[in-house]
Amino acid sequence: MFQQSQLHNIVADRSDHYPILLKLHGDNMRTTTRDFKFENVWLLEEELEGLVLGGWAKEYSQDL
């Protein structure tokens, strides 16, 4: 899935924890940094429940 990614083990000379650095590259990366934000006004939409239930019912397949 992330063939072009790099994983680096970092040496920490002042700790017993060893951090890792994961660099993701490639076409699978999102181009925006926009986070999902729920708007309370959506609760007033009559179609909301059907949309949510329909979204939860979908099956997605990915190679992880």
Which residues in 27-52 are b (16+ Cβ under 10 Å) and which e? eeeeeeeeeeeeeeeeeeeeeeeeee
Q: Is residue 1 situated within a structural domain?
A: no
- Selected residue with higher pLDDT from 63 and 59: 59
Q: Is residue 43 situated within a structural domain?
A: yes
Q: Is residue 32 situated within a structural domain?
A: yes
Report how many domains make up the chain.
1
Residue 22: domain span: 6-57
Q: Can you give the pLDDT at residue 10?
A: 87
Q: What is the mean pLDDT of the chain?
A: 79
Q: What is the mean pLDDT of residues 17-33?
A: 75
Structural contact between residues 12 and 19, judged by C-beta atoms closer than 8 angstroms? yes
Q: What is the mean pLDDT of residues 13-20?
A: 84
Q: Is residue 63 situated within a structural domain?
A: no
- Selected residue with higher pLDDT from 64 and 49: 49
Does the pLDDT at position 38 exceed 80? yes
